[in-house]
Copies of this chain bind each other. A is one copy, B any other.
Amino acid sequence: MANTDMRTGLQLRSLVKKDGTLELSLVSIPTPEPKPEEVIVRVEASPINPSDQGLLFGGADLTTAKASGPADNPTVTASIAPAVMKAMAGRLDQSLPVGNEGAGVVVRAGESPAAQALMGKTVAILGGAMYSQYRCIKAAQCLVLPPGTTPAEGASCFVNPLTALGMVETMRVEGHKALVHTAAASNLGQMLNKICLKDSVGLVNIVRKREQVDVLKKLGAPHVCDSSSPTFMDDLTDALLATGATVAFDAIGGGKLAGQILTAMEVAANKTAKEYSRYGSTTHKQVYIYGGLDRGPTEFNRAFGMAWGIGGWLLTPFLQRIGYPAAQKLRERVAAEIKTTFASAYAKEISLAEALRVEEIAVYGKQATGGKYLIGPQKGLR
């Protein structure tokens, strides 16, 4: 199925069937003629982020995954539980492309000067359908990478970097002076730690394992709390007192952690309060849940007064809220610091066909810290 010209390209597709089956496959699609304002990017690298996996797997039970077909054009099927199928109503029987972001080289351009100016440039792009050999996209959506940057280095310019910057910006916009982050040893967490060190912003890192404390300590993080430690609540309260953090970004979602953070924030707030308030501290305490590493229910005891909030946080609405000029500033910072602050590490680079191998799915589907994969859509095809 390898193709040697640009007229068609492979694209990874995810299909949820009415009968409760997920089907992953590669399809060959014609490369469109770019409109005046558009370019064709030959995608060279695209990460598999946690935020891609919801669309990719449709909530399927990955232990049921089975492959069929030839090695260079496999099909993978897996079962989706009936309870999960309810949430899939909107995407039933639609073959959907996947992949939020990536980077590659502009190989064709529409007539407009903006598009023509990008010919031959290495660019980072965001917009879905990146697990494809070729992606037609507006020139204005391309972030030109600094000379000497490879597509692999620029593949993760948006989701993690803008999410990390977005957390710090949200903290500022909403009047908090420091922040808390959970699952903090993740690729995103390490990036946030680098930003906070560089910008002198107080950050309380929460991790779930002892060895992850060391990872962050080695990166210079002043406050790392291990939620598996018996002294966790005291450690967290001390770190909150030291930093004054009153907003948290939580990737876990399920379980008691969000409530524990609010409880510790309340204890910290009351340690500095001057008089008894029957409704608890008047300091607003906020947890934003932006991920669901624990898919179980969220549970909390409301032992933190009345000035609190828990809510969802998502990058795109945040960028819309701050407006294009402010968002563009963040993007330009990412491009400028892509080899330092915003550098990403990958456990492995795989081809589109390898992304559909059951043994690879078993690894990258785990979303384990340090286990991020990069798809090279041109790999194994040339």
A residues neighboring B (CB under 8 Å):
54-55, 87, 89-91, 94, 253-254, 259, 270, 273, 275-279, 282, 289-290, 292, 297-303, 305-314, 317
Contacts and interface: CB of A to CB of B under 8 A. Distances in A.
A210 to B, nearest CB: 28
A90 B299 contact: no
A256 to B, nearest CB: 9
Given A90-B270, A300-B298, A311 B312 contact: no
A158 to B, nearest CB: 15
A369 B313 CA distance: 37
5 contacts: A87-B303, A306-B314, A309-B309, A309-B310, A309-B312
Contact of A55 (B278, B306, B307): B278
A299 B299 contact: yes
B302 A253 contact: yes
Given A306-B312, A306-B313, A312-B307, A90 B297 contact: no
A314 B278 CA distance: 12
Given A253-B302, A299-B299, A309-B312, A317 B277 contact: no
Q: Which 10 A-B pairs have the closest CB atoms?
A: A90-B276, A309-B311, A306-B312, A306-B314, A91-B276, A299-B299, A55-B278, A310-B310, A308-B312, A297-B299
Contacts of A279: 314
A309 B287 CA distance: 10
A135 B71 CA distance: 85
A301 B314 CA distance: 18
Contact of A276 (B94, B273, B276): B94
A90 B271 CA distance: 10
With a 10 A CB-CB cut-off, give which of A94, A273, A277, A317 has the most chain B CB atoms: A317
A316 to B, nearest CB: 8
